[in-house]
Structure 1
Amino acid sequence: MELMQDARRAVLVLSYNGKDVTKDIAKALTDFQFNDAAPGTLDSLSITLEDRERNWQGPWSPTEGDRVKGEIRTINWDGPGEIKKLPLGSFEVDSFDFNGPPDTVAIKAVSLPVSANIRQEKRSKSWEKVTLKMVAGEIAKRASLKLLFEATDNPSYDRLEQSQLSDLAFLLETATKEGVAIKVSNGSLVLFDESVYEKKPVIATITRGEDNVKGYGFSWGTAYTAYCACEVSYTNSKSKKTVKVTYTPPGAPKSGPILKINEQADSQAAALKLGRKRLREKNKEAGRGTLSLMGDIRMAAGLTINIKGWGRFDGKYIIVSANHAIGGSGFTTDLEIRRVLGW
């Protein structure tokens, strides 16, 4: 007979405002979700609890901005005596729902400090003689976040106009144009280059029929037809000089649709760089998929995996988002993935 301490299981370890509440919620927990979110969105936690004793409606009732820190711990998951941990980071409570009967409460927390106004408050500002890192640094400071600038380039600007946009929306818009992705995670504002992450070694190979795949989905459509090249054309209004170049990525098909753009580029080198960025924005939407797995703490946004056994969909993918859940179905991991471009 298998003893409880030998059973294969996943445990949620949780602290609330600095107090360990793991034992307090263990019996009441009905559902837990941790979303390691896609770039441009916030990481989040959601905890659903039975509340027959009405503790969470009364003395334990959450308050906006309460701090939650979590960890998923797997015990005997991949072998006897093995304990592994997935730290989830720090979050602040931003919503609370109560339903019944029977009485249940749902607590949601996000990775951005609730007191920060960079997501809601719209502002207008002229930024002069700045770099992308300087803009990100000022916005991070305003939100009481650390800045992790991992992008390979740090573009500079004579002038940027923020017109009735929240700081986060403005930064996201500016960075996306430069091919730079943004995440708010574990108290940090992170800017990184997805193309660099795509080149990193895979952390796992998911093979159809051999791994614990509970569900999968892959799709393509003409709306996401991959472009074979990007043509950049720009005429300077003062000098009347025209720059026109075509960027073709390595391994591109010899024929296919060409993405044509007309944006400022003062040299051929700048135009080629711009063409690569715009082509990546479009082409990365052409190879999407989803995987539902038995819980796997290795999976995190920004890591790469190999897909094998699905025919034309086989290849190397980057994890766009990873949702780890503990509930009635045990411990599961749902992934949104995107085929890497390789350039």
Structure 2
Amino acid sequence: MRTRRAEIGVSYEHVDISSDIRDSVSLMSYVDVASGESDSLSLTIQDRERKWMGGWMPQKGDHISAEMRFYDWESEGSHWGMKCGDFEVDEIKISGPPASCSIGAVSIPRSEAFNEEERTKNWEDVTVREIAAEIAGRAGLALYYEAEEIPVKSLEQDKQTDCKFLYSVCEKYGLAMKVFAEKIIIFSEAVYEAAAPVTTLRYEDFSQYNYNSSLEGTYTGAKMSYTDPGTGEDHIVTVGGGDRIMEINEEADSAADAQRKAVAELNNANKKAVTFSGTIMARKEMLASCCIAITGFGKPDGIYYLDKVTTKVGSSGASQQTFEAHLVGNRMDGANVVLDPQKEPEEAGVGTEYTVVKGDTLWTISERFLGTPLRYAEIYDLNQDVIEAEAQSRGKKDSSNGHWIFPGTVLQIPAAEGDEPDGEQ
């Protein structure tokens, strides 16, 4: 009879202590984050013999590496492992009775130059890659950069650690960043959101789930005012349209620089528009920054980007994962950006046709014609055959429920609120 089980492997200060602590660890939790903060690890250890109060007492800054191993998981003979990475102890708690020790650790490396020393510097005529390379070199870290070259004419680091400053630079330009296994990893979240889903989760896979669709804190467009440093002229850059416009007050070197910053801030805010979280049995494919497909729920079905994945292993050999994700397809990276305010959007009547242009999404089309982005599913339902046929002609398996739409596609727009077909009262 198959017995599914999970085990942990832990090295402390480069010494394997797995066998020493296996019977006393009541829980190990690994948090994998796509961007914006470090990965983390926590261990809760039963300390009946009070070793962890004495000679085994951890110290802040100690090094931990960990992995999780899964045996006979999906089926007999299905074994796999998950390397959690390298961590630095940053919190120790002793409590009781019964006596226990809790150890918290983060993936930021032990480098005062990277995460403790505050630095003031004016960066001039560099790229984001060059900023990251200098910071990585100073901290003794490797750099993996998977994004376009972004020029920066001038940027001030004002009493910030290199770690916090680089996080802020990446966020400002719409890039994701994480520190993992002695590496700084910077990548284009837009590219990762466009990737095929690594696994499909069905309704029956969940022991708990939560879907949320909200307008609060989300926007249909953005407007950014800036002064050209070369000419001294004031300009306005607009992205998108509609009635929920984000006002951005940010310095910019040029129209292109303003465009990147406005689009990045708008997309960061709109990640909250549609979110999904849940608890499932652990899966090896569930890694932050990957996409998953969710099906069997109805309207919540779609492709989601994993923002955070938490994997836990308990003393009984059981394991579960919880995750937080946002729906892909609402990104406006390809939106048209102009130096003058856009015209007010036209209103749709019954039978309106619209031809898709570069940068459109069903979300923005719905906002433009129907007054709310939340009716995007109605546009997809009305045009499903056309959208799916066009996606397949472009080499896609399908459109991912309208995520993929292409310039030149003619869409039928449903009636806006209050419109009545001819002949009806």
TM tier, shorter chain? 0.7 to 0.9
Q: Which has the higher contact order (CA 8 A, sep 6+)?
A: 1
Structure 1 counterpart of 2:86? 90
**Corresponding residue of 1:32:** 28
- Picking from 311, 330, 345, the partner of 1:324 is 311
Q: In the alignment, what sits opposite 2:285?
A: 298
Aligned-partner Cα distance in 2 for 1:177–1:298: 29
- One-letter identity of the residue aligned with 1:11: E
Give the secondary structure class of the aligned counterpart of 2:216: helix
**What are the superposed Cα offsets for residues 103-131 of structure 1, whole Å, 9 maximum, x if unpaired?**
11111221112343433332222222322
Q: 1:237 to 1:68 in 2, by over 3 A?
A: closer
Residue 172 of structure 2 corresponds to residue 177 of structure 1: yes
Structure 1 pair 256–12 and aligned structure 2 pair: CA distance change class (3 A): same
Superposed counterparts of 1:257-296, under 5 Å: 257-261=244-248, 263=250, 272-296=259-283
Residues in 2 aligned to 1:65 and 1:236: alpha-carbon distance in whole angstroms = 46
Residue in 2 that maps onto 1:214: 207
CA deviation after TM superposition for structure 1 residue 33, in Å: 0.5
**3-state SS of paired residue (2:112):** coil
Which position in structure 1 is the counterpart of 2:162? 167
Correspondence 1:63 to 2:59: yes
Cα 1:134–1:272, aligned 2, differ >3 Å: closer, same or farther? closer
**In the superposition, relative to structure 1, how do residues 147 and 303 fare at CA in structure 2: closer, same or farther (>3 Å)?**
same
Structure 1 residues 129-148: aligned runs within 5 Å: 129-148=125-144
Q: CA deviation at 1:272?
A: 4.5
1:205 aligns with 200
Give the letter for the 2:67 counterpart: E
Q: Which has the larger radius of gyration?
A: 2
The whole-number CA distance in structure 1 between the counterparts of 2:168 and 2:244 is: 26
Aligned 8 A contact 2:34 2:176 in 1: no
2:104 corresponding residue in structure 1: 108
Distance in 2 between residues matched to 1:237 and 1:64, nearest whole Å: 46
Q: TM-score, normalised by structure 1?
A: 0.87
SS in 2 for 1:168: helix
Inter-partner Cα distance in structure 2 for 1:119 and 1:331: 32
Q: Is the 8 A contact 1:64 1:114 kept in 2?
A: no
Pair 1:236-2:232 in alignment: no
**8 Å contact 2:219–2:245 — kept in the other structure?**
no
Tell me, what secondary structure is at the counterpart of 2:41? strand
User: Aligned in 2, Cα 1:238/1:203: closer, same or farther, shift over 3 Å?
Assistant: closer
Residue 341 (str. 1) matches residue 329 (str. 2): yes
Question: What amino acid is the match of 1:122?
Answer: E
**Partner Cα separation in structure 2 for residue 238 and residue 144 of structure 1:** 37
**Secondary structure of 1:118's aligned partner:** helix
Check 1:67–1:273 CA distance in 2 against 1; reply closer, same or farther (3 A cut). Answer: closer
* 1:234 shift after superposition: 4.3
1:188 is the counterpart of 2:175: no
C-alpha separation in 1, matches of 2:45 and 2:249: 54
In the TM superposition, what is the alpha-carbon distance from 1:202 to its structure 2 partner?
0.3
CA distance in 2, matches of 1:171, 1:238: 26
1:54/1:178 CA distance change after superposition, 3 Å: same
State the alpha-carbon separation in 2 of the partners of residues 277 and 223 from structure 1: 18
Query: Do the aligned residues in 1 keep the contact of 2:214 with 2:274 (CA within 8 Å)?
Result: no
Q: What amino acid is the match of 1:247?
A: V
What runs of 5+ residues in structure 1 fail to find an aligned partner? 249-253
| Partner-residue secondary structure (3-state), 2:53 | coil
The alignment status of 1:99 with 2:73, answered yes or no, reads: no
Give distance in 2, aligned partners of 1:304 and 1:165: 33
- Measure how far apart 1:163 and its partner are: 1.3
SS at match of 2:54: coil
CA deviations over 1:249-285 (Å, ceiling 9, x no partner): xxxxx85533444655676655554443233122222
CA distance in 2, matches of 1:238, 1:13: 57
Cα shift readout 1:264-310 (whole Å, capped 9, x = no counterpart): 56766555544432331222221122111112222111000011122
Structure 1 counterpart SS, 2:94: strand
Q: Distance in 1 between matches of 2:271 and 2:223?
A: 17
Following superposition, the deviation at residue 208 of structure 1 comes to 0.8
Q: Distance in 1 between matches of 2:124 and 2:260?
A: 23
Change (3 A) 1:302 1:237: closer
Pairwise CA distance, 1:333: 0.3
Is the CA contact 1:119–1:169 (under 8 Å) kept in the aligned structure 2? yes
Structure 1 residues 48, 274: closer, same or farther in 2, change over 3 A? closer
Does structure 2 conserve the Cα–Cα contact (< 8 Å) formed by 1:226 and 1:282?
yes
Which stretch of the first structure deviates more once superposed, 34-43 or 15-24?
Answer: 15-24
Deviation at 1:247, TM superposition (A): 3.4
Query: Does residue 306 of structure 2 align to residue 314 of structure 1?
Result: no
Partner of 2:336: none
- Counterparts of 2:260 and 2:222, CA distance in 1: 11
Inter-partner Cα distance in structure 1 for 2:253 and 2:306? 35
Greater strand percent: which structure?
1
Q: Residues 236 and 90 (structure 1 numbering): CA distance in 2 closer, same or farther, change over 3 Å?
A: closer
User: What TM-score results when the alignment is normalised by the length of structure 2?
Assistant: 0.71
8 Å CA contact 2:23, 2:315 repeated in 1:
no
* Paired residues, number: 330
Letter in 1 for 2:325: I
Q: Secondary structure at the match of 2:70?
A: strand
Structure-2 change in CA distance of 1:242 and 1:30 (3 Å): same
